[in-house]
């Protein structure tokens, strides 16, 4: 029997505003789509929080025994500034400013995105499609939506007719908005606008002469609207109806609302059963924004090269910090919070490694089976990672009590405790073992010292004894002792 048959998982569905028992469309299989980054700059820390949140969801579903197809897109065209239907493409703008090709911008920041998520120990998605790789499919779905009467073409651009769509469906049901109120609170369209109504959004935009990124279509040389790619790629790889769609809270309106409208207009079906939204990350109590300077990049956290934190923090500790809040809660990033997380992380890892040498008794005074189920209960309650972490710290107390002989544990229960901690710390939360991380640091340190020993030997061969002595003396000041012998130079760390 698969674990998912024993555990009852509840997910908070943004569509209903309630926690619902999770039942996939096809038993044992889960289709999950998450909106990925627009690759025009280094990945934002707030975005990283979203992707870590859905990595947790992915990991737990896999742990429960589901076969998960996780699709996360790369937006490499069509996302205009300020999420508008006019203006400059974000990627094209960066390409113009840096005087490089748009696809150079895409390549550079896609690599950065992957590198950062790898440092955070995120699992890669099953499929990572790009907007530019699906232009043909986007053109085809626009044709379908036009044929069904929910879109119109003006001067080479195609717009979705929200007012007409709302007569048969409900535009605004995800975000809880009423179209009549939206219309009443909107200014009149500018005279030069091609739209019938202000709420209408672009499915295809005719490219201005200066617009670099363009493709041929039945309507014009142009590019697809930003919302369209997600409808196309989610349905192509997961079907017209699939289980989970995730993204940041800021995407609920208009992006996800437009996705629903496009899907329903094209197929007549509601595309998603469970909508999940991760909340925002603030910095020292204020919204993160590059424009105000209240911003920090992941690499600046790891290197310590920033004006916000007193010291560097590893990706491991930063990930642990983010998981200490439920994905639907606002999380404030600060130096104090990260320092507290680092202490907690080290305490948790030390307790886990102390388990190996823990003495056992014939009988347990602890109910390990109930504690194990409480870990599942936490994750079954909408992936409640902070409660799970609290349960793991209950295990730390149990381990300390056994060490102090105020509690006892049997060999069988010790094995269960050890395995459950391993599963939830490493497989589900996605933390890396501190010992392996320390070993990695030690290997890098050894390689660096060996390089300095080689440079010192070259200096001696060149009779540059001043440099040779300087390398030896400065290493000695750092507590690294060099010893010259017949077999070469070795080192020891004091």
CATH number for the domain including 204? Answer: 3.40.50.620
Answer with the residue of higher pLDDT: 467 or 338: 338
Rounded-to-integer distance, Cα 432 and Cα 422, Å: 10
User: Is the domain of 258 the same as that of 370?
Assistant: no
Query: Residue 133: inside a domain, yes or no?
Result: yes
Check: CB of residue 204 under 8 Å from CB of residue 158: yes
Query: Residue 13: inside a domain, yes or no?
Result: no
User: Is the domain of 259 the same as that of 290?
Assistant: no
Rounded-to-integer distance, Cα 468 and Cα 237, Å: 61
Binding residues: 35, 230, 255, 259, 290
pLDDT, average across residues 148-171: 97
Q: In the chain, count H helices and then E strands.
A: 17, 15
Report the alpha-carbon angle 140-161-79, nearest 5: 65
3-state helix, strand, coil in the chain (%, to 5): 50, 15, 35
pLDDT, average across residues 99-116: 96
Within 13 Å of residue 392, how many CA atoms lie on the same side as its CB? 31
pLDDT confidence band for 191 (50 / 70 / 90): low
Q: In whole angstroms, how far apart are CA 335 and each of 287, 292, 402, 403?
A: 16, 19, 34, 33
User: Is the domain of 85 the same as that of 99?
Assistant: yes
User: Is the domain of 421 the same as that of 472?
Assistant: no
Residue 190 has pLDDT above 60, yes or no: no
Q: Nearest CA to 175 among 65, 94, 104, 249?
A: 249
Query: Residue 66: inside a domain, yes or no?
Result: yes
Query: Looking at residue 369, which CATH number applies to its domain?
Result: 1.10.730
With 0-12 / 13-18 / 19 or more C-beta atoms within 10 angstroms meaning exposed / middle / buried, residue 309 is middle
Q: In whole angstroms, how far apart are CA 285 and each of 175, 336, 401?
A: 25, 12, 38
Check: CB of residue 243 under 8 Å from CB of residue 32: yes
Q: Nearest CA to 247 among 16, 9, 46?
A: 46
For 473-490, the pLDDT digits (tens) are 888 888 788 888 766 887
Query: Residue 320: inside a domain, yes or no?
Result: yes
Q: Nearest CA to 246 among 225, 227, 274?
A: 274
Residue tagged 């911003």 (tokens):
295
Name residue 127's beta-bridge partners: 71
pLDDT confidence band for 441 (50 / 70 / 90): low
Predicted local distance difference test score (pLDDT) of residue 197: 93
Name residue 235's beta-bridge partners: none
Query: Residue 48: inside a domain, yes or no?
Result: yes
- Looking at 408, 434, 460, the residue that finishes a domain is 434
Percent of the chain at pLDDT exceeding 90:
78
Binding residues for Zn(2+): 35, 230, 255, 259
Query: Residue 11: inside a domain, yes or no?
Result: no
- Looking at 278, 305, 329, the residue that finishes a domain is 278
* Burial state string for 333-347 with b = 16 or more CB within 10 A and e = fewer than 16: beeeebbebbebbee
User: Is the domain of 122 the same as that of 245?
Assistant: yes
Longest dimension (CA), the chain: 89
Q: Which structural domain range is residue 417 located in? A: 282-434
Helix spans in 150-256 (H): 162-168, 179-184, 226-238
For 297-322, the pLDDT digits (tens) are 999 999 999 888 989 999 999 999 99
Q: Is the dihedral of CA 419, 421, 424, 429 positive or negative?
A: negative
Query: Residue 8: inside a domain, yes or no?
Result: no
- Looking at 235, 253, 278, the residue that finishes a domain is 278
Residue 439 has pLDDT above 60, yes or no: no
Predicted local distance difference test score (pLDDT) of residue 85: 84
Q: In whole angstroms, how far apart are CA 66 and each of 102, 247, 385?
A: 39, 21, 19
Residue 222 has pLDDT above 60, yes or no: yes
For 69-106, the pLDDT digits (tens) are 999 999 999 898 888 888 889 999 999 999 999 999 99
User: Is the domain of 353 the same as that of 447?
Assistant: no
User: Is the domain of 337 the same as that of 255?
Assistant: no
User: Is the domain of 453 the same as that of 417?
Assistant: no
Q: How many structural domains does the chain have?
A: 3
User: Is the domain of 112 the same as that of 215?
Assistant: yes
Query: Residue 37: inside a domain, yes or no?
Result: yes
User: Is the domain of 430 the same as that of 482?
Assistant: no
The one-character DSSP state at 103 is H
Predicted local distance difference test score (pLDDT) of residue 346: 95
Report the alpha-carbon angle 371-377-378, nearest 5: 95
| The 3-state secondary structure of 226-267, one letter per residue | HHHHHHHHHHHHHCCCEEEEEEEHHHHHHHHHHHHHHHHHHH
User: Is the domain of 463 the same as that of 381?
Assistant: no
Binding residues for ATP: 290
User: Is the domain of 214 the same as that of 317?
Assistant: no
pTM of the model: 0.88
């Amino acid at each position: 029997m698969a674990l998912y048959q024993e555990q009852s998982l509840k997910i908070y569905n943004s569509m209903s505003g309630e926690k619902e028992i999770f039942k996939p469309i096809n038993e044992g299989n889960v289709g999950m789509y998450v909106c990925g980054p627009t690759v025009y700059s280094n990945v934002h820390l707030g975005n990283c929080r979203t992707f870590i949140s859905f990595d947790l969801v992915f990991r737990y579903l896999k742990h429960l025994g589901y076969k998960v197809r996780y699709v996360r897109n790369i937006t490499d065209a069509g996302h205009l500034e300020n999420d508008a239907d006019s203006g400059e493409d974000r990627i094209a703008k960066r390409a113009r400013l840096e005087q490089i090709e748009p696809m150079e911008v895409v390549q550079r920041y896609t690599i950065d995105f992957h590198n950062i998520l790898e440092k955070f120990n995120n699992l890669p998605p099953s499929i990572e499609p790009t907007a530019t790789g699906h232009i043909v499919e986007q053109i085809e779905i626009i044709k379908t939506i036009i044929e069904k009467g929910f879109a119109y073409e003006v001067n080479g651009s195609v717009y979705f007719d929200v007012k007409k769509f709302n007569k048969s469906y409900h535009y605004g049901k995800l975000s809880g908005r009423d179209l009549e109120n939206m219309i009443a609170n909107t200014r009149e369209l500018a005279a030069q606008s091609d739209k019938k109504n202000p709420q209408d959004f672009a499915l295809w935009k005719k490219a201005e002469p200066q617009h670099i990124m363009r493709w041929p279509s039945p309507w014009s040389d142009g590019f697809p609207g930003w919302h369209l790619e997600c409808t196309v790629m989610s349905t192509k790889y997961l079907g017209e109806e699939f289980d989970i769609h995730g993204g940041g809270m800021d995407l609920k309106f208009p992006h996800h609302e437009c996705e629903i409208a496009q899907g329903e207009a094209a197929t007549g079906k509601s595309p998603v059963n469970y909508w999940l939204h991760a909340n925002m990350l603030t910095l020292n109590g204020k919204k993160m924004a590059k424009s105000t300077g209240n911003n920090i990049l992941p690499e600046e956290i790891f290197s310590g090269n920033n004006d916000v934190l007193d010291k560097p923090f590893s990706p491991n500790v930063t990930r642990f910090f983010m998981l200490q809040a439920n994905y639907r809660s606002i999380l404030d990033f600060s130096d104090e919070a990260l320092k507290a997380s680092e202490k907690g992380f080290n305490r948790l890892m030390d307790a886990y490694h102390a388990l190996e040498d823990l003495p056992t008794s014939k009988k347990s005074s602890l109910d390990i089976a109930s504690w194990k189920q409480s870990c599942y209960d936490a994750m079954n309650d909408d992936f409640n990672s902070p409660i799970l972490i609290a349960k793991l710290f209950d295990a730390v107390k149990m381990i300390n009590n056994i060490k102090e002989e105020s509690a006892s544990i049997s060999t069988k229960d010790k094995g269960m405790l050890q395995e459950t901690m391993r599963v939830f710390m490493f497989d589900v939360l996605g933390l890396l073992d501190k010992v392996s991380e320390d070993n990695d640091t030690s290997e890098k340190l050894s390689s660096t010292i060996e390089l300095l020993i080689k440079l010192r030997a070259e200096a001696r061969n060149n009779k540059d004894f001043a440099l040779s002595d300087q390398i030896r003396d400065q290493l000695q000041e750092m507590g690294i002792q060099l010893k010259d012998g017949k077999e070469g130079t070795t080192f020891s760390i004091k």
